[in-house]
């Protein structure tokens, strides 16, 4: 029996896709820069069917790539080397909110927006938010330890995770979903699978911590004459702004692009070199928040938005960066982080090194100033994508940073993993990989470089 | 050359202890219930010396037990089977606080109190606190993923950890201490080693996140007529009390014991079945806090302590439980957690099952109501320690709970690991153990049951 026939037996014929037109959306990544091929896209509906698919693939040693919403930016969820695509989207149940614990169990294929809605309907909130919320799935977010704009308040996805269900390469199902806040009974398998990018197991469900719905969130935009002053103010804001929820860095060129290309209203009459978008939960009293913002050293202009509409308007300037940049042509999206103490230097040095590696390229910088995370977007790089990538990642490493703050390593960055990890760490990673996936069938071309 | 001579070569003769009088404190656990023997206690002063000790032990396949402050309660840090004791106390440096990031790097042997003092001197705080703060070490707290009273606010130790340095069984040193809040470059080795109880590697340093020093913390004690009402109020308090820092459950018998044995002043004129000790950071405004406490359904008496002295007085009632109970003779200390939805039932059912297993035994219950964590203390169990332990852990499992909320599995609980973990999970744990410690030299009698 052929591989495809075996897969049909495992999940039912109508859930094994082979028609090239249908398959196209599964083999090409969100950026459009990476496209692969696959013998089949398999869409199981239950954890048992996932285990059956793994058994088939293991039996013939055919590797697979787990895929959620396919919103990844590092080519970690597409079959670049002919892997089977294991789509988890049909595992989409979001369980009832456990009101006593403030938690919910969600299957891998549920979208972030669905989790947010379930939480909200029960009077809670989910601590993670990011702009791909309608497409990004729980499984993908756990597999990549997704971050987003609220990491500064609630931490990354791993911090929301109190339990997991996953199918390991040997077909065994590990299930630990009681959702205890305190549980020291063995190794942190949930935390290990989180961020493993589908290379150690296939996540089928997650138990997620919820947070109190924010009371009266308020946003402000503060303008600065240079990046260094804005970054210093961000460090101050981390301590001086109570219940800080977001702390985003924007630069003049990005704001101008969003205004010019998309008609989004400029926040101030005058242009400024750098901006901090600050959001906090005020609980109804805005005075302390406004005072803290006014107290940021070097702020030359400040706008406080205390009603939802003005708050949304401020966020538009930030949220529509990706869209505006995409209008310029192919985009190299490099997500990195550096220690806060060197963030200003790093941001200032970026355009020069990119220009050196890819003459004529433009570098767009924005991100989460509260945790040193910069989303570096490069346009106009021509045929110099590799060189521009290497320049940005090397500069990151020179600043003691991480070549992947929140998107993961995927296939895109694995040849540069050594810039952030020592040979000893990579050797330990390989030991863990061999232990849980001895046949190397789970997303073998992601995360670890070839030996 | 003998093992002891080789160890002397590795760390210097004066740092290899073999005198039985000197060694006694290292081979007996904090409870006094577990005492073992060792060929030597080795006290390296550097990460390099730790690696040398591991090389010696690996060379002759002699197992070792890493030890910090020896405050563990599950016999996970003492040499019950003749292991070498690897004491980390001489690695005691606490680095300068990184003010930009709000983090500090501390070596394994530094005490919790030393980390707290360093944080405080720099205007920050460390998010973990527990009563063994003067003895418990960073390495031990990371190895057991220590919790404590502030988990409800800041999470357990794993949540504080942004990086780690450790020596693996093969002698390699993994070091990742840049302290980036966002860093998705490979598997979460720090999180995996955290809570692994010295079975996967020897932790030599940790990079720890700090938190803002609490502004005007205020405590309150609320009394209830029964446990169920107190537990329901705890679930409410988790949502209604802003910036909640601690939420402790006390029962009448424990409060009476502390008052009677130690002369600690009773909180109220009348006795009540159950109490919640609630602490929150108020930022100076106590009205909202007092209102939230008064609003807890079923609270029949409330005392709010808004000055440090009265706050300390309320905490004394909680903090001196262990001391008062210890006066009654040998204590079986069982630390478990159950889902909040069944916490009341569980607490009520405990004395009966203990009495059934160990007639005449008394059961003392207190703990962290905010996360379902109950510290079950049993006295007067005579020769029925095993039966009483099994009864408590089985009841925990019947309630869908964890047999170890925060102390770990150690040697004490490993035969009951199956009550909280499935065979598939335990098989995955064994794969990870074999991957990182193929010769089984790292704390081989802790955490995993014998195969």
- Give the one of A175, A340, A432 whose C-beta lies nearest to B100's C-beta: A340
pLDDT in tens, A259-313: 999 999 999 999 999 999 999 988 777 888 999 999 999 999 999 998 999 999 9
For the cut 80, the answer to whether the pLDDT of residue B16 exceeds it is: yes
Dihedral over alpha carbons B345, B346, B351, B354 (to 10 degrees): 140
- Is B421 in contact with A145 (Cβ distance < 8 A)? no
- Is A191 in contact with B186 (Cβ distance < 8 A)? no
Q: How confident is the model at residue A378 (pLDDT cuts 50, 70, 90)?
A: very high
The Cα A202–Cα A198 span in angstroms is 6
Partners of residue A341 in chain B, C-beta under 8 Å: 98, 100-101
- Is A174 in contact with B434 (Cβ distance < 8 A)? no
Partners of residue B212 in chain A, C-beta under 8 Å: 239
The Cα B113–Cα B141 span in angstroms is 12
**Exposed / middle / buried, residue A14 (Cβ in 10 Å: 0-12, 13-18, 19+):** exposed
Q: How confident is the model at residue B379 (pLDDT cuts 50, 70, 90)?
A: very high
The Cα B416–Cα B392 span in angstroms is 11
B269 contact partners, CB below 8 Å, separation of at least 6: none
A78 contact partners, CB below 8 Å, separation of at least 6: A26, A27, A28, A29, A34, A35, A36, A65, A67, A70, A72, A85
Mean pLDDT of chain B: 95
- Measured in angstroms, the CA of B447 and the nearest CA of chain A are apart by 7
The Cα B69–Cα B110 span in angstroms is 9
Tokens of B451: 């195969």
- Is A159 in contact with B156 (Cβ distance < 8 A)? no
Partners of residue A436 in chain B, C-beta under 8 Å: 428, 431-432
The Cα B124–Cα B213 span in angstroms is 5
Question: Beta partners for A104?
Answer: A208
Query: Is A338 within 8 Å of chain B by CB?
Result: yes
- Is B183 in contact with A101 (Cβ distance < 8 A)? no
Average pLDDT over residues B22-35: 92
- Measured in angstroms, the CA of A20 and the nearest CA of chain B are apart by 33
Query: Is A122 within 8 Å of chain B by CB?
Result: no
Alpha helices in A161-226 (DSSP H): 189-193
Alpha helices in A1-66 (DSSP H): 3-11, 20-27, 47-59
Query: Is B266 within 8 Å of chain A by CB?
Result: no
Residue of B nearest to A148 (CA): B182
For the cut 80, the answer to whether the pLDDT of residue B316 exceeds it is: yes
The Cα A296–Cα A260 span in angstroms is 29
What is the helix (H) or strand (E) element at residue A365, kind and residue range? strand A362-368
Partners of residue B421 in chain A, C-beta under 8 Å: 176, 185-186
- Is B407 in contact with A184 (Cβ distance < 8 A)? yes
- Measured in angstroms, the CA of A263 and the nearest CA of chain B are apart by 32
Query: Cα separations (Å) of A229 from A221, A272, A379?
Result: 14, 12, 27
Give me the residues of B, 50-109, that contact A with CB < 8 A.
Answer: 98-102
Q: How confident is the model at residue B94 (pLDDT cuts 50, 70, 90)?
A: very high
Average pLDDT over residues A389-410: 97
Average pLDDT over residues B309-319: 93
Q: What is the pLDDT of residue A270?
A: 95
Residue A82 carries which DSSP code?
S
- Give the one of B102, B174, B429 whose C-beta lies nearest to A238's C-beta: B102
- Is A402 in contact with B447 (Cβ distance < 8 A)? no
Q: What is the pLDDT of residue A233?
A: 94
Q: Which residue shows structure tokens 């791909």?
A: A132
- Is B175 in contact with A400 (Cβ distance < 8 A)? no
- Is B182 in contact with A239 (Cβ distance < 8 A)? no
The Cα A399–Cα A377 span in angstroms is 18
- B141 near B151, Cβ under 8 Å? no
Residue (of B173, B47, B160, B64) closest to B107 by Cα position:
B47
- Give the one of B179, B406, B424 whose C-beta lies nearest to A339's C-beta: B179
The Cα B278–Cα B152 span in angstroms is 11
The Cα A182–Cα B128 span in angstroms is 14
Q: How confident is the model at residue A53 (pLDDT cuts 50, 70, 90)?
A: very high
pLDDT in tens, A96-152: 999 888 999 999 999 999 999 999 999 999 999 998 999 999 999 999 999 988 999
3-state SS, chain B, equals CCHHHHHHHHHCHHHEECCHHHHHHHHECCCCCCECCCCCEECCCCHHHHHHHHHHHHHCCCCEEEECCCCCCCCCCCCCCCCEEEECCCCCCECCCECCCCEEEEECCCEHHHHHHHHHHCCEEECCCCCCCCCCEHHHHHHCCCCCCCHHHHCCHHHHEEEEEEECCCCCEEEECCCCCCCCCCCCHHHHHCCCCCCCCEEEEEEEEEEECCCCEEEEEEEECCHHHHHHHHHHHHHHCCCEEEEEEEEHHHHHHHHHHHCCCCCCCCCCCEEEEEEEECCCCCHHHHHHHHCCCCCCEEEEECCHHHHHHHHHHHHCHHHHHHCCCCEEEEEEECCHHHHHHHHHHHHHHHHHHCCCCEEEEEEEHHHCEEEEEEECCCCCHHHHHHHHHHHHHHCCCECCCCCCCCCCCHHHHHHCCCHHHHHHHHHHHHHHCCCCCECCCCCCCCC
Residue A265 carries which DSSP code?
P
Spatial strand order in the sheet of A244-251? A301-305, A217-224, A274-281, A244-251, A362-368, A373-379, A331-337
For the cut 90, the answer to whether the pLDDT of residue B99 exceeds it is: no
pLDDT in tens, B393-411: 999 999 999 999 999 999 9
Residue (of A277, A228, A231, A223) closest to A252 by Cα position:
A223
Question: Beta partners for A373?
Answer: A337, A368
pLDDT in tens, B337-373: 999 889 999 999 999 999 999 999 999 999 999 889 9
- A127 near A151, Cβ under 8 Å? no
CB atoms near residue B56 (< 10 Å): 23
Q: What is the pLDDT of residue A49?
A: 98
Mean pLDDT of chain A: 95
B30 contact partners, CB below 8 Å, separation of at least 6: B70, B71, B72, B73
- Could you tell me what percent of chain B has a pLDDT over 70? 100
- Give the one of B156, B189, B212 whose C-beta lies nearest to A425's C-beta: B189
Residue of A nearest to B171 (CA): A424
Preferred mutation among B96, B170, B184, B423 to probe A, highest tally of A CBs within 10 A:
B184
Q: Which residue shows structure tokens 């030599």?
A: B204
- B214 near B311, Cβ under 8 Å? no
Do strands A41-42 and A84-87 pair parallel, antiparallel, or not at all (unpaired)?
A: parallel
Q: Which residue shows structure tokens 């949502």?
A: B239
Query: Is B447 within 8 Å of chain A by CB?
Result: yes
Average pLDDT over residues B3-21: 97
Using the Cα atoms of residue B133, residue B135, residue B137 and residue B142 in order, give the sign of their dihedral.
negative
Q: Taking every pair of C-alpha atoms in chain B, what is the biggest distance, in angstroms?
A: 71
Give me the residues of A, 124-153, that contact B with CB < 8 A.
Answer: 144-145, 147, 151-152
Q: What is the pLDDT of residue A32?
A: 86
- B141 near B157, Cβ under 8 Å? yes
Average pLDDT over residues A12-20: 97
Give me the residues of B, 355-374, that contact A with CB < 8 A.
Answer: 368, 370-373
pLDDT in tens, B149-169: 899 999 999 999 999 999 999
The Cα B73–Cα B31 span in angstroms is 7
The Cα A22–Cα B236 span in angstroms is 49
- A68 near A408, Cβ under 8 Å? no
Compute the residue count for chain A: 451
pLDDT in tens, B269-307: 999 999 999 999 887 778 889 999 999 999 999 999 989
Higher pLDDT, B341 or A81: A81
- Is B188 in contact with A191 (Cβ distance < 8 A)? yes
Query: Cα separations (Å) of A390 from A35, A170, A332, A394, A447?
Result: 21, 37, 12, 6, 17
Preferred mutation among A155, A182, A404 to probe B, highest tally of B CBs within 10 A:
A182
Residue A266 carries which DSSP code?
P
Spatial strand order in the sheet of A84-87? A16-17, A41-42, A84-87, A64-67
The Cα B3–Cα B84 span in angstroms is 10
Give me the residues of A, 367-406, that contact B with CB < 8 A.
Answer: 368, 370-373, 400-406
């Amino acid at each position: 029996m052929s591989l495809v026939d075996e897969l049909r037996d495992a999940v039912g014929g109508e859930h094994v896709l082979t028609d090239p037109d249908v398959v196209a959306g599964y083999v090409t990544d969100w950026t459009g820069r990476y496209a692969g091929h696959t013998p089949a896209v398999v869409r199981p509906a239950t954890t048992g069917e996932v285990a059956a698919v793994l058994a088939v693939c293991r039996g013939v040693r055919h590797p697979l790539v787990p895929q959620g919403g396919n919103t990844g930016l590092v080519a970690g969820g597409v079959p670049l080397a002919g892997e089977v695509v294991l789509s988890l989207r049909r595992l989409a149940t979001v369980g009832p909110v456990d009101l006593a614990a403030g938690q919910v169990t969600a299957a891998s294929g549920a979208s972030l927006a669905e989790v947010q809605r379930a939480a909200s309907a029960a009077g809670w909130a989910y601590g993670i938010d990011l702009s791909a919320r309608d497409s990004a799935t729980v499984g993908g977010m756990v597999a990549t330890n997704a971050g987003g704009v609220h990491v500064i308040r609630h931490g990354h996805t791993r911090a929301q995770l109190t339990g997991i269900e996953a199918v390991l390469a040997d077909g065994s199902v590990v299930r630990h979903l009681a959702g205890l806040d305190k549980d020291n009974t063995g190794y942190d398998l949930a935390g290990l699978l989180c961020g493993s990018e589908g290379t150690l197991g296939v996540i089928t469900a997650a138990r997620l911590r919820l947070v109190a719905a924010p009371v009266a969130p308020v946003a402000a935009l503060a303008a600065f004459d240079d990046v260094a002053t804005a970054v210093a103010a961000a460090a101050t804001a981390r301590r001086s702004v109570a219940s800080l929820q977001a702390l985003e860095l924007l630069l003049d060129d990005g704001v101008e692009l969003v205004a010019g290309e998309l008609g989004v209203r400029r926040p101030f009459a005058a242009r400024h070199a750098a901006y901090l978008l600050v959001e906090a939960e005020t609980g109804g009293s805005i005075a302390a928040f406004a005072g803290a913002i006014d107290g940021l050293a070097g702020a030359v202009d400040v706008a406080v938005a205390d009603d939802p509409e003005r708050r949304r308007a401020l966020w538009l300037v930030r949220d529509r960066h990706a869209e505006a940049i995409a209008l310029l042509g192919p985009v190299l999206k490099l997500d990195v982080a550096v220690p806060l103490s060197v963030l200003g230097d790093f941001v200032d040095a970026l355009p020069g090194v990119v220009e050196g590696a890819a003459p004529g390229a433009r570098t767009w910088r924005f991100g989460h100033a509260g945790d040193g995370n910069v989303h570096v977007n490069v346009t106009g790089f021509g045929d110099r994508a590799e060189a521009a990538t290497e320049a940005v990642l090397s500069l990151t490493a020179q600043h003691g940073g991480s070549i992947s703050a929140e998107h993961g390593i995927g296939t895109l960055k694995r040849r540069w993993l050594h810039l952030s990890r020592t040979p000893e760490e990579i050797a330990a990673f390989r030991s863990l990989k061999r232990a849980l996936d001895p046949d190397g069938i789970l997303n073998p071309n992601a995360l670890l470089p070839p030996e």
